[in-house]
Amino acid sequence: MKSHGGGKALLFEQPIVDGKKSEFAVAINTMGSRRRMALALQVPDIGDIAQEIQLILKPNRPPICAKVGPCSNKEFICCMRVQNQCAKRHARKSCTKSANEDTFSLSDLPILKCWPKDGGRFITLANVHTRDPETAVRNIGIYRMQVYDERTTGMHWQLHKVGARHGKRYYERGERMPVAVTLGGDPVYTFAATAPLPDGLDELFFAGFLRKNQSSLFAARP
């Protein structure tokens, strides 16, 4: 990744997990260059989205609008706010494929041990979905997850991260914290999860803004 131009992306079609071929392929460094990031975000150059990002960072945002159809760039912020109201009433869709709890095992996934002195294998590019128990504000973050056994991971989030803040509030309330973790999917969610957005700006809205697709606002919620 630190090579000139971002280095090559690697695809392992049949990685070996504990001496057995995994049914899952592993792709590495797929967004390790500006060119590949631009391909993932469907723009000519990654710098092209800078001006669009400024639209949602301006202090004087446009008023809410009544239009709910396809939006132009200037109208999309209005549409996102309208769709936010719709999202609250939107029924959660069932997954197309559910994991069988009796057979699911993290050991079946080709999870890497990145460094020789690491404490074990780590999931390194998962989208971690959490929600504030008091305000219902949601967040997507990228946090390393250490695999302890077939069903258990440890979440590595620093104290200043939003996910850690949500976790602290659940702990103080004496409640179990619901967390949804997604692997793969549209790379725009990974981009949104790693973008230095202002506190409180919804990553799912930001992803929908970048894709110009209101359906992104209805992504699965924990």
Amino acid at 163: G
Tokens 């590595």 belong to which residue?
A: 156
- 221: alpha, beta or left? (left if phi > 0; alpha if psi -120 to 50): beta
CA–CA distance, 186 with 164 (Å, rounded to integer): 24
**Residue 127, strand partner residues:** 142, 182
Torsion sign over Cα 41, 45, 46, 50:
negative
Whole-angstrom CA distances from 203 to 29, 80, 128, 141 are 22, 12, 11, 9
State the pLDDT at residue 15.
Answer: 92
CA–CA distance, 88 with 59 (Å, rounded to integer): 25
CA–CA distance, 80 with 202 (Å, rounded to integer): 10
pLDDT along the chain (222 residues), means of 10: 84 90 89 88 84 65 43 51 41 46 81 89 93 92 93 91 94 95 88 84 85 55 40
State the pLDDT at residue 104.
Answer: 79
Torsion sign over Cα 206, 163, 186, 2:
positive
State the pLDDT at residue 87.
Answer: 39
